[in-house]
Amino acid sequence: MNRLLFLLLFASFSLFSFSQEDNLKAYIDVKDFYHPEAGNYAEVELQFAIQSTSLKTIGDTALQASLAIYFDFMSKNVLVKSDAYVLNSPLYQIKDSLIEDFYEIKRYSLKPGKYELKIRIKDLNSDEQKEVSGAKNFVIKDIKDKIAVSDIIPAEYAIKSDEASVFQRSGLHIIPMFSNFFSSRTNTLPVYCELYNTGIKNDSVLGIMYRIMNSKNYVEIEEYTTISRFETGPLIARFKAINIELLGSGSYLLEICVVNKDFDIIATSSYPFERDNDISTILNSENIILNPAFQGSMTNDSVLYYLESLIPISKPAEVKNIVSSIKTKDIEKCRKHIQAFWIKSSPVESYESWLKYKKQVDFVEKVYGNNFQEGFETDRGRVYLQYGAPNNIVAREASPSEYPYEIWTYNKIGVFSNKRFVFYNPDLVNRAYRLLHSDMVGELKNNSWPQILSKRNTVNGNVDNPNQNNIDHWGGNSNEYFRQY
């Protein structure tokens, strides 16, 4: 049996050792929750890397993974609970080029105490009988008759839904996030938690406080602290998308606290995360001496165009600087801005890096530009410039039952593997392909993308707003929904 395996989440941000590429790959976390009537329970959250499983043909049109899962809950080396079952993945259509990871949540009633979860997974479709195992320690807190905050669930995405499922929580369908790393491309930190027994002090005024602490010196980043009152009760669910656009690089703790009228903390829960976001991007281009090579690489009437073309690879603060320079229409200032950008981005070979990027900008203009947008303004052009050329493109332009679409696959984007982007053209003209779905962190995620593509044959399909019934924390409608919680 191969000893894998799981990428376990620890407060120190370290990852448990995992196996070679041929083994099953899964991510696991265990959360501590409580119900006023049922008591304490552990929530086991799992994500399975579909590419590491063996898929079996179901009928003539679908594929499916089948896994045998074994759980043993140990307390002081004594087995207190066990479970074993077969988990089948969703059915994947053979014609689909995008096959995504699948998730599982199991909940187990446990008494307060310290536990070790031993888990074993076997691939039932594998001729080699692929099998992996791992373990995770966790604590179930005794919170009966105490005001408490549950463990925090960071959300990969959340949609408003009344459909019964293991992912359902208080009117939300939440898929947990199994990474605590947030790059500069991620501007929100969406989190779910529950408050317990807040009504035991009938005369108290209570509030919920969100705050971000520097995990190294435990200094509060005050501009991210918010406090709001809430109606007390046995169980209060809270979901919030925290804007971290301007939070710089570092190690942090998100704390969610119950506070009284004097702002004393009564109960708290924390979530550690890493942020990579260099926001010190104000370029000092005033003293830049124009390099003749930079100056000769673009004509005066193309300077504003090429400065704007830097937006797809710029951080939010940099974008503001670019827009500010463009508004001046000062050609010399804009030339200096372009040169300063590449000196900062690529100090050793700034001019060479600029020429390489300029060539890519010209390419996306030729291939993806249309009557309404420059090439770098289109979704395909932006993705190409931001992540590079995809390793594979599946294009379907003439299907009578689906809108024209393209699926781009990247073998590697930074630390991420096997990431995909789905573009489609609901207008059927002008090559105006829009991003419909991606499994890349920080990009639009829409699990209903196959249904959206098929809406070409649906009279009442809402094409202009494909996320109307599938709102997620990367989508444009997400903030309106999050404000309700």
**Residues 248-252: what's their mean pLDDT?**
91
| Long-range contacts of the stretch 325-329 (C-beta < 8 A, 24+) | 329/304
Would you place residue 471 in the very low, low, confident or very high pLDDT band (cuts 50, 70, 90)? very low
| Percentage with pLDDT > 90 across the chain | 56
pLDDT tens for 331-356 read: 999 999 999 999 888 888 999 999 99
CB 105 within 8 A of CB 43: yes
pLDDT band at 4 (very low <50, low <70, confident <90, very high): very low
Q: Which burial class, exposed, middle or buried, applies to 269 when counting CB atoms under 10 A from its CB (0-12, 13-18, 19+)?
A: buried
- How far, in Å, CA of 481 to CA of 188, rounded? 14
| Residue 320 scores a pLDDT above 60 | yes
* Cβ-count burial 195-205 (b if 16+ within 10 Å, e if not): bbbbbeeeeee
Three-state DSSP state, 80: strand
> How far is the CA of 51 from the CAs of 2, 5, 152, 427, 455, in angstroms?
17, 15, 29, 33, 28
Q: What is the mean pLDDT of the chain?
A: 84
The pLDDT of residue 284 is 61
Greatest Cα-to-Cα distance within the chain, rounded to the nearest angstrom: 76
- Rounded to the nearest 10 degrees, what angle do helices 379-387 and 350-368 cross at? 150
pLDDT at 338: 92
Per-residue confidence band for 9, with pLDDT thresholds at 50, 70 and 90: very low
Select from 423, 341, 450 the least CA-distant residue to 92.
450
Cα 117 from Cα 122, distance rounded (Å): 17
**Mean pLDDT, to the nearest integer, of 137-163?**
92
Instruction: Measure the CA angle with vertex 195, ends 192 and 201; round to 5°.
Output: 160
Which range (141-150, 276-285, 442-451) has the least confidence?
276-285
Q: What is the pLDDT of residue 246?
A: 83
- Residue 303 parent element (H or E): helix 303-308
**Model pLDDT for residues 20-76, shown as the tens digit of each residue:** 445 788 999 999 999 999 999 999 999 998 888 999 999 888 999 999 999 999 999
Query: Inter-axis angle of helices 350-368 and 331-345, to 10 degrees?
Result: 110
Q: Which residues contact 233 (CB under 8 A, 6 or more apart)?
A: 198, 199
